Amino acid sequence: MAAPQCRRVRLWRWRRNPLRRRSDLVEAWIVLAAWVLALLGGLVAGFVTADAVEAEAERQRARSREVSAVVVEDVKDRVTARAAVDHRVWATVRWTAPDGRTYTDEARVAPTTPSGSTVTVWTDGGGRIAAEPLTAGESRLHAISGGVLAAAATCGVVMGLAWAVRLGLERRRLAQWAAEWERVDSRWGWPTR
């Protein structure tokens, strides 16, 4: 004897059907709107974030200046920097800005750098030591990864909200079914549970 086969009816919430409830159609529209919003919102958020990251990297490159600084103190007995892969140590360095002012700050240098050596440091517009600006490839990588994360987060938020709304509809539908069964119970005179 062959097992009965049930055909899968696609898009049943959109078709006219005597068993389709109004909440089924509302749920279908919510799912459609969520997919469209997730797709479009994710694309917009991704591109906006990528542009913002690229613009910030460009501003950082425009503000940063590479200057030569002189190591002021001996660094032989210093402890290495906090990063496990970076074996440089902190040392006091002095440099002269293009406007003629002299600055002193701490920078990371090789642990074998003697006092009086010249090292290259990056400064911001205010004369403070800054991190080396991102290269074009690094800023592109940051922009792509930031855009992908923003797009994924936007899609996740939209789909999460849609799921919460669908969960509310399901609870409401179950409450309606419970009320209908209560009416059936009272009409027949015995519980149907």
pLDDT value at 85 more than 70: no
For residue 111, tell me if it sits in a domain. yes
Which has the closest alpha carbon to 158: 48, 53, 43? 43
Q: How far apart are CA 83 and CA 67, in angstroms?
A: 24
- What is the pTM for the complete model shown? 0.70
30-40: average pLDDT: 96
Residues 50 and 109 in one domain: no
Q: Specify the number of domains making up the chain.
A: 2
Instruction: Classify residue 75 as exposed, middle or buried by CB count within 10 Å of its CB (0-12, 13-18, 19+).
Output: buried
Instruction: Check residue 171 and give its pLDDT.
Output: 93
Instruction: Check residue 191 and give its pLDDT.
Output: 61
* Cβ atoms of 129 and 121 closer than 8 Å: yes
Residues 98 and 154 in one domain: no
Residue 4 structure tokens: 């009965």
For residue 5, tell me if it sits in a domain. no
For residue 189, tell me if it sits in a domain. no
Instruction: Check residue 167 and give its pLDDT.
Output: 95
Instruction: Check residue 1 and give its pLDDT.
Output: 58
pLDDT value at 72 more than 70: yes
For residue 148, tell me if it sits in a domain. yes
Residues with Cβ within 8 Å of residue 90, at least 6 apart in sequence: 75, 78, 81, 106, 107, 108, 109
Instruction: Classify residue 126 as exposed, middle or buried by CB count within 10 Å of its CB (0-12, 13-18, 19+).
Output: exposed
72-96: average pLDDT: 73
Instruction: Check residue 78 and give its pLDDT.
Output: 62
Domain assignment of residue 127, given as a range = 65-132
% the chain with pLDDT above 70: 87
Q: How confident is the model at residue 12 (pLDDT cuts 50, 70, 90)?
A: low
For residue range 112-159, what is the model confidence (pLDDT) as tens digits?
888 888 888 888 877 788 888 889 999 999 999 999 999 999 999 999
For residue 193, tell me if it sits in a domain. no
CATH number (domain holding residue 123) = 2.40.50
* Cβ atoms of 2 and 17 closer than 8 Å: no
Q: Which of 107, 132, 157 is the C-terminal boundary of a domain? A: 132
For residue range 13-25, what is the model confidence (pLDDT) as tens digits?
677 777 777 888 8
Q: How far apart are CA 77 and CA 99, in angstroms?
A: 34
Instruction: Check residue 193 and give its pLDDT.
Output: 56
Residues 71 and 85 in one domain: yes
Which has the closest alpha carbon to 152: 31, 43, 37? 43
More confident residue, 101 or 52: 52
Q: How confident is the model at residue 87 (pLDDT cuts 50, 70, 90)?
A: confident
pLDDT value at 67 more than 60: yes
Residues 70 and 110 in one domain: yes
What Å distances lie between residue 36 and 31, 40, 138, 155, CA to CA?
9, 6, 32, 10
Task: Look at the chain and count its residues.
Answer: 193
